[in-house]
Amino acid sequence: MTNDLLYQIALTLIPNIGCVHAKALIETFGKAENIFKARKKELSAIENIGLIKATSIKAFDNFKAAEDEIKFIEKYKIQPLFITDKNYPQRLLNCYDSPTLLYYRGNADLNVSKIISIIGTRSNTDYGKQVTEKLIVELKNLNVLIVSGLAFGIDAIAHKATLQNQLQTVAVLAHGLHTIYPHQHKTLAKDILQHGGLLTEFRNGDKPDKHNFPKRNRIVAGMADATIVIETAVKGGSMITAELANNYNRDVFALPGRTTDSKSAGCNYLIQNNKAILFTDANELIESLGWQSKKINRKQQKELFIDLSDDEKIIINILKEKDTTHIDEINIRSNLSSSSIAAAILNLELQNVIAGLPGKVYKIL
């Protein structure tokens, strides 16, 4: 482990410094270490930091806690993912409150081209179970990464069905990696480790306290292209996740149900209030997200790209590697300025060379 990690963990331990503040500090100073070495005047000059938070940074001295966390990480072969790490879930970077540091165990790529979150009630009906299992079967040939929260009910059904269909699944936790909650899902968690992964922003010893679950839910919503709500009451964690996904400009799909069924009341509400797209089968989801497979005539494609600008060619070469590519990946890999990327993408769309999809995702036509 590098010395960088010590400062990265320490950054998450500073009182009064949350994810939004940390992101602003990293954008200014580049590395976590530089934040701790900056002068108070430099820190306080950053927007939304000010003198109180700058004083809190300069006063921090609990590096022992960060050292202990590193020992835990090394012992259990945990992969720390700082916000500037290339393996950090790139879709999360679009979220204003993206976690500063994530802890990950597993073998799934968190930046694959297709990711969906499946969420729902802890006390599902047979209807919800059947629809969840059918959806995953229909997604089997698309190599979709399935994300959920390891809770009872729809979460567990989604994880199990994903494993049964030889797809990968990631469980996002509301506690540290020292434990599994609920404890009844320890065996499931072990299976997920072999065919996916466990992901959390919480450190060793952090318990599954009530206030941790909304934080967990924002990761579930933010790291996926779309969130599918299978069954939920009008109030509950699934409704919070759906609202977060909407705020992050991600597609939300909801399974409709009978008006007399309390477990469908939340889904019906989301659909009725235009906060979710009505979902009945995987084909609707695939079409809406632009995941249909299309064969490209390479000769025609080559001729089409002859008159493109250098910036446009860079973006096209990135897009050619996957079916769909998120804007964050284009930003990182192209080394172009945001304005150059925006101009090139606009021109490519106007020429019908590429298409923009929901959630700031692009593909070649």
pLDDT in tens, the chain (365 residues): 468 999 999 999 999 999 999 999 999 999 999 999 999 999 999 988 999 999 999 999 999 999 999 999 999 999 999 999 999 999 999 899 999 999 999 999 999 999 999 999 999 999 999 999 999 999 999 999 999 999 999 999 999 999 999 999 999 999 999 999 999 999 999 999 999 999 999 999 999 999 999 999 999 999 999 999 999 999 989 999 999 999 999 999 999 999 899 999 999 999 999 999 999 889 889 988 888 765 445 444 544 555 788 888 899 989 888 878 888 889 888 888 888 898 889 888 888 888 888 778 888 88
Q: Answer whether residue 221 is part of any domain.
A: yes
pTM for the model stands at: 0.81
Domain count along the chain:
3
205 and 158 in a common domain: yes
124 and 160 in a common domain: yes
Cα separation, 16 vs 106, whole angstroms: 31
Question: Residue 351: what pLDDT?
Answer: 81
239 and 151 in a common domain: yes
198 and 262 in a common domain: yes
Contact call for residues 60 and 13 (beta carbons, < 8 A) = yes
Question: Residue 154: what pLDDT?
Answer: 98
Domain range spanning residue 314? 298-364
Cis peptide before 214 (omega within 30 of 0): no
Contact call for residues 221 and 89 (beta carbons, < 8 A) = no
Angle at Cα 284 formed by Cα 281 and Cα 285, nearest 5°? 90
263 and 119 in a common domain: yes
Q: How far apart are the first and last CA of the chain?
A: 43
Q: Answer whether residue 112 is part of any domain.
A: yes
114 and 60 in a common domain: no
Tokens of 68: 């202990």
Largest CA distance in the chain: 62
Cα separation, 111 vs 126, whole angstroms: 32
Give which of 121, 190, 189, 114 is closest to 146, Cα–Cα: 114
Q: Answer whether residue 94 is part of any domain.
A: no
191 and 111 in a common domain: yes
Q: Answer whether residue 311 is part of any domain.
A: yes
Side-chain-side CA neighbours of 67 within 13 Å: the count stands at 4
265 and 137 in a common domain: yes
Rounded to the nearest 10°, the torsion over CA 226, 232, 233, 234 is 10
DSSP state at residue 226: E
Query: Domain boundary at 240, 264, 289, which?
Result: 289
Question: Residue 298: what pLDDT?
Answer: 47
Q: Answer whether residue 52 is part of any domain.
A: yes
Q: Answer whether residue 352 is part of any domain.
A: yes
For the chain, state the CA radius of gyration: 21
Packing angle of the helix pair 63-75, 3-13 (nearest 10 deg): 120
Question: Residue 304: what pLDDT?
Answer: 52
282 and 304 in a common domain: no
270 and 233 in a common domain: yes
119 and 256 in a common domain: yes
Cα separation, 256 vs 243, whole angstroms: 17
Query: Domain boundary at 27, 52, 75, which?
Result: 75
What CATH number should be reported for the domain holding residue 357? Answer: 1.10.10.10
What CATH number should be reported for the domain holding residue 69? Answer: 1.10.150.20
Q: Answer whether residue 98 is part of any domain.
A: no
259 and 135 in a common domain: yes
Question: Residue 299: what pLDDT?
Answer: 45
